[in-house]
Amino acid sequence: MNNVRIWAIEWIKKALLEVQEYVRLCIAAVQGIFSRPFYFRDVIEQIDVIGLGSLTVVLLTGFFTGAVLALQSGMTLDQFGARPFVGRLISASMIKELGPVLTALMLSGRVGSGIAAELGSMVVTEQISALRALGTDPIRKLVVPRVLAGFIMCPILTVVSDTVGMLGGWIVALTQLRVSSGVYWSAVVEGLFIQDVYMGIIKPFFLGIVIVTIGCHVGLRTTGGTQGVGRSTTNAVVASSVLVLIVDFFVTRLLISIFF
């Protein structure tokens, strides 16, 4: 019993330490955004890596999510004679919830793991120590460009995912459900409100920051050589994926209280 209690106390202490270090990293990153020196070239490079590098997986995810959503919802709506409203369901679902969350989860798997592996490798090979020895702040040089790139590109990729998802739903509605293009797109427009669009655009800003900062935090705290890099990569994906869902809930709750 005492061993269990000691283990629980140690686990809580370790968890609180991780939260403390994560908050410190976020504060340092925010300070680095608004103070010199600025590494514009690194920001552009990270925008390319995070944005264009993730475009293919986001396109595929968005398209097939919209397609399968149309296929499944069409069967359900048939029971109520409401097949023409499939466009309304797809647009509301993709823009308010599925687009932002699925895009963020894909970025967690691709971007979060990549950042953790890259920074973790730099830590175990002492490149971070070399940067400090040369007078360069690793937070400004490595973390801030990635945070800015995630903050910029996650909403853009979400809009791309939403658009492709509605196109996928349109193709399925046209070919499988026999819903005309005019009826589908009219339902898409009728099912959207400006508050839904705001919600679908605001949430990715928060999710992008969470994904990148978790990857940076886990990567910079890597220990144990190459095996530690592997553990950090796994931990970054798991932690960022779970936090994406948690942050999505609280941000959605906040936006509902503001807009509705």
Contact by Cβ (8 Å): 218, 243: no
Q: How far is CA 146 from CA 12, 46, 59, 151, 258, in A?
A: 29, 6, 22, 8, 30
- The model's pTM: 0.89
At 1 the pLDDT is 66
Q: How far is CA 218 from CA 100, 153, 215, 257, in A?
A: 23, 21, 5, 33
CA distance 207 to 212: 9
At 8 the pLDDT is 82
Contact by Cβ (8 Å): 91, 199: no
CA distance 180 to 89: 16
Per-residue model confidence as pLDDT tens digits over 2-38: 777 888 888 888 888 888 988 998 998 988 888 888 8
Q: What is the mean pLDDT of each run of 10 residues along the chain (260 residues)?
A: 78 87 90 86 90 90 92 80 82 89 92 90 88 86 92 94 93 86 87 86 93 92 84 91 94 87
Closest among 18, 7, 57, 13 to 236, alpha carbons compared? 18
